[in-house]
Structure 1
Amino acid sequence: MKSVNKSIILNKIRLSGSISRADIARESGITPPTVSTIVKELIHENLVVESHLGESIGGRKPTLLQLKEDGYYVIGIDAGSNRIKGIISDLVGGIYSRAEVEIHPNITKEEFLNSLSEVVEQVLKDYGQHKDKILGIGVAMHGIIDIETGTSLSSVNSGLINVPIKKTLEKKFDLPVIVENNSRAMTLGEYWFGNGGATKRFAVINIGRGVGSGLIVDNKLIHGAQGVNGEIGHVSISLDGERCSCGNIGCFETFVTGDAIVRRAKKSISNAPEDLTAEEVYRLAKQGRKEYIQVLEETGKFIGIGIVNFIHTVNPNKIVLGGGVLKSKEFLLPSILQTISERVLIDKLREETVIEVSKLGDDITILGAAALLLNELFYCYIV
């Protein structure tokens, strides 16, 4: 019971920003003496600090409690298919060091692991004065991940198979390593540092070069029996569509990624440039070019159909949309929301399912990688 109470109190302080011992006791139902004892332990463990005095409601002003932001640090790695990015972050998502390397399309397993190590070495070099306070390394990796062994089993985009990320990095840096699918890591990042809050059933859908999703239920990231929960990019929405990178026909991913937007624009716009990119489609749409606006609005409809399928299957309270494609949100979102409104089964889903676009931008995945370690820390007391 003490372990559970410790996690409850620690997370109450995290979610509140600043809170008094009395408010923790009142809101959690834990007795004031127990709160005081546990808070003393958390202060001793370098996780919590006393801050400024709060407002008095009679008697002396209460001392407020906050997370000790610089009590510990974590390394977050976003292992993408064309570049690897790394950061050192504090307990509230403050970034102190960054590093990045590009990787080539036909990279070998050994080269990939060397590039991962290079990024970790660089962030440690730039901010090595606090190495003794670093809790570990979180890695967000595209593709299918064996969570227990920290192995990347398969990545369609890079072609890498059975990459021992956890084993390699732990041996080299003598730090704990957690490896997670990038979309699930994004979900954790948004939950901790963005729009997640204390939502009971919270989801993120990531739309960029590929499509994936993550789901958190009661503070727990859901993986599925074989670790492929959230691979909504490979749900078929057409029996005679284009062939997907996974080998199947008509996957959701073939309709909504950046490459899919470019293919559809080239097919429907006679004078579309040969070197057209998704970024250029967005730029031309912003200039008022109706044919490019129409391509993005059509993409929004496809995304909306995918989200409706997701809502009917998973039924989350809130869905946050992220990834590079959502940079065109002013053209996509109205079409997405209209499609959802037209197609969900009941009014309650239409009225109560919150749909938002991430405000974390390009840092959402890398912060999610950092949050992998923080999630372990903040819920480690629950047996």
Structure 2
Amino acid sequence: MNTNYTRGSFQLMKSINRSIILNMIREHGPISRADIAKQTRLTPPTVSNIVKELIQTKFVIETTQGESKGGRKPTLLAINADQFYILGVDVGTNQMKFVVTNLFGELKRDFQLAIPLNPSKEDIISTMKSGIRELLTCGDGDEHKFLGIGIGMHGIVDPEEGTSLFAPSFQLYDIPIKEELEKEFNMIVKVENDAHTMTLGEYWFGNGNDADNLVGINVGNGIGAGIMINGKLFHGENHLAGEIGHVTIDLSGTKCPCGNYGCLQTFAAGPAIADRARKELKTGKPSLITELVDHDLEKVDGATVHKAALQGDAFSIQLLNQTGRYLGIGLANLIHTLNPKRIIVGGGVARSGDFLLEGLRETIQSRGLTIKAKETEIVLSKLGANASAIGACVLVLEEFFSR
């Protein structure tokens, strides 16, 4: 008999069981050892031994005693949520968002750093390192409280290698994020596309918690999607899955930074909203936007359009509604391809809320192939501006908890 193979198989099974028990406590705690054994179908001695280890490593604590069902009251188990922290980084176009969460994904600290204009690979890595060093000071001075670092990076990412293959906003290729950060901080580093981390964050802690088949759409300076199938992120053969921003919706449309014409993001991303507003305002259309930017139309951005809409500006409301219709065309294609239970819309443009959703839902209602397709749930991100960064933390949590 190959004893190394047997030992390896035993260790794997023990690791899987540990993960199952940890997640049971995370989702259903406070919970007794007996209930864990019953619900997982593991033997009471197996549960008892693993729980003993988890208490020793401080992942789990014993808490208040439960109701007695005859005999002595059972001691209940709970996750020791604030014993360990995770660092999350969301790399946007102009800035990086840094967060610290506990084991329940609860935000403990967050801040942002500007990304230099036309950054080099070294600039990106250097900005990451600066922000992470800053965060490492908030764990009671004990770096051992941090389990790892998760990175949500826009563009195309190889999650196995932890490399940014192509960051279109920076026109940079092959940034070795995992290699550089693991060397610097000597802890686990996980790297994913930012729309994927947004979807993961919503799946664990937000509006996707009860849906194993869902799509998260990150609408900001670009548009990306995270596709969750049977509770697992889908990457595709070459890590391209989810690049919905580059689905063509108008063959005669304007040129996209990717080189193609008529991509969805040239109609519905933040810069497209601002461009459309500027063009129409230059023709003399009346709008509160003109006052908000003090008649300097070059200052118009997506946030200005939203601000004007909130103040009842008819032009801005109509513009955001039309943006929702464009986005709805892309999402109708997704519904007919993937048939998800729910689509979650996040990113900066999603702050437009109902102004955007009204046109989006209208389009899906008119274009859905079946009644069920028309009724696909479309909701806004629960985690909001922090969704991608918190989802980056989930990349590390996945190493410890099994869903």
Matched position secondary structure for 1:24: helix
Post-superposition shift, 1:127? 3.3
2:388 is equivalent to residue 376 of structure 1:
no
Q: Which residue in the other structure is 1:276 paired with? A: 300
Encode CA deviations 1:196-236: one digit per residue, 9 max, x unaligned.
22422132111011100112233322211101111111111
Aligned positions of 1:1-383 closer than 5 A: 1-55=13-67, 61-127=73-139, 129-269=141-281, 270-271=284-285, 273=290, 274=297, 275-351=299-375, 353-379=376-402
Larger mean CA deviation between 256-265 and 190-199 belongs to 190-199
- Residue type of the alignment partner of 2:393: A
Encode CA deviations 1:87-139: one digit per residue, 9 max, x unaligned.
22211123334343212221111122111111111111343622112222111
Relative to structure 1, the CA distance from residue 197 to residue 60 in structure 2 (aligned partners, 3 Å threshold; closer, same or farther) is: farther
CA distance in 1, matches of 2:307, 2:339: 35
Relative to structure 1, the CA distance from residue 116 to residue 336 in structure 2 (aligned partners, 3 Å threshold; closer, same or farther) is: same
Relative to structure 1, the CA distance from residue 186 to residue 286 in structure 2 (aligned partners, 3 Å threshold; closer, same or farther) is: same
Larger mean CA deviation between 25-34 and 184-193 belongs to 25-34
Encode CA deviations 1:340-364: one digit per residue, 9 max, x unaligned.
122222223334x332111212111
- Residue type of the alignment partner of 2:234: I
Relative to structure 1, the CA distance from residue 290 to residue 97 in structure 2 (aligned partners, 3 Å threshold; closer, same or farther) is: closer
CA distance in 2, matches of 1:350, 1:38: 47
CA distance in 1, matches of 2:31, 2:377: 27
The count of aligned residue pairs is 379
% of aligned pairs identical?
46
Any stretches of 5+ residues in structure 2 without a counterpart? 1-12, 291-296
CA distance in 1, matches of 2:320, 2:160: 40
- Checking the alignment, whether the CA contact within 8 Å between 1:99 and 1:122 is kept in structure 2 is no
Larger Cα-atom Rg: 2
Relative to structure 1, the CA distance from residue 98 to residue 289 in structure 2 (aligned partners, 3 Å threshold; closer, same or farther) is: closer
CA distance in 1, matches of 2:311, 2:83: 48
- Residue type of the alignment partner of 2:131: V
Any stretches of 5+ residues in structure 1 without a counterpart? none
- Checking the alignment, whether the CA contact within 8 Å between 2:98 and 2:131 is kept in structure 1 is yes
Larger mean CA deviation between 113-122 and 78-87 belongs to 78-87
What TM-score, normalized by structure 2, do the two folds share? 0.87
Encode CA deviations 1:13-59: one digit per residue, 9 max, x unaligned.
22234333344344444444443343333323322222223445666
CA distance in 2, matches of 1:354, 1:8: 30
Relative to structure 1, the CA distance from residue 25 to residue 195 in structure 2 (aligned partners, 3 Å threshold; closer, same or farther) is: farther
- Residue type of the alignment partner of 1:322: G
Post-superposition shift, 1:72? 2.1
- Residue type of the alignment partner of 1:68: N
CA distance in 2, matches of 1:320, 1:132: 35
Larger mean CA deviation between 265-274 and 338-347 belongs to 265-274
What TM-score, normalized by structure 1, do the two folds share? 0.92
Post-superposition shift, 1:61? 4.5
Relative to structure 1, the CA distance from residue 32 to residue 341 in structure 2 (aligned partners, 3 Å threshold; closer, same or farther) is: farther
- Checking the alignment, whether the CA contact within 8 Å between 1:97 and 1:127 is kept in structure 2 is no
- Residue type of the alignment partner of 1:96: K
- Checking the alignment, whether the CA contact within 8 Å between 2:139 and 2:145 is kept in structure 1 is no
CA distance in 2, matches of 1:238, 1:182: 26
- Checking the alignment, whether the CA contact within 8 Å between 2:93 and 2:221 is kept in structure 1 is no
Encode CA deviations 1:287-346: one digit per residue, 9 max, x unaligned.
222121111111111122211111111222222111111111121112222221222222
CA distance in 1, matches of 2:85, 2:247: 38
